[in-house]
């Protein structure tokens, strides 16, 4: 990885190299769920709940030829939290997992994200 200081996402040239290693893009096949789609939204001031899908793994930064900082957590922190997000946060704080109280081997009924 390049050790020089990361540049802001506003420098994105939309080359798509960041998409190659993005697990959420691979899982969803939806360009808006990938780093290039998120970068376009940031640069157009059209952030939405698709930022919650990002795993924050930063795999996109490793393949960016411009060494951009893809800090999607900052955007996510500005977004209004959904009811599901609030429920997951409460469950993590109380039970240590996003699904709530579970018995060993039990599969949660509600699998939710955003």
Asked if the model's pLDDT at residue 106 lies above 90, the reply is no
Q: What is the mean pLDDT of residues 90-110?
A: 82
Burial degree of 5 (CB within 10 A; 0-12, 13-18, 19+)? exposed
The confidence score (pLDDT) of residue 50 equals 83
Task: Indicate the domain borders of the chain.
Answer: 9-79, 81-114
Instruction: Tell me, yes or no, if the pTM score tops 0.85.
Output: no
Q: What percent of the chain has pLDDT over 70?
A: 93
Instruction: Give residue-wise pLDDT tens across range 13-27.
Output: 999 999 999 999 999
Residue 1's pLDDT is what? 47
- With 90 as the cut, is the pLDDT of residue 96 above it? no
Q: How confident is the model at residue 52 (pLDDT cuts 50, 70, 90)?
A: confident
Phi then psi dihedrals of residue 68, to 5 deg: -85, 150
């Amino acid at each position: 990885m390049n050790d020089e200081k990361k540049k802001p996402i506003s420098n994105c040239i939309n080359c798509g190299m960041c998409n190659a290693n993005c697990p959420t893009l691979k899982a969803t096949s939806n360009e808006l769920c990938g780093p290039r789609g998120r970068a376009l939204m940031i640069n157009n001031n059209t952030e939405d709940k698709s930022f919650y899908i990002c795993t924050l793994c930063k795999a996109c930064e490793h393949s960016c030829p411009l060494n951009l900082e893809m800090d999607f957590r900052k955007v996510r922190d500005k977004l209004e939290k959904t009811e599901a997000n609030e429920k997951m946060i409460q469950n993590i704080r109380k039970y240590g997992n996003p699904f709530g109280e579970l018995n060993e081997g039990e599969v949660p009924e509600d699998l939710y994200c955003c």
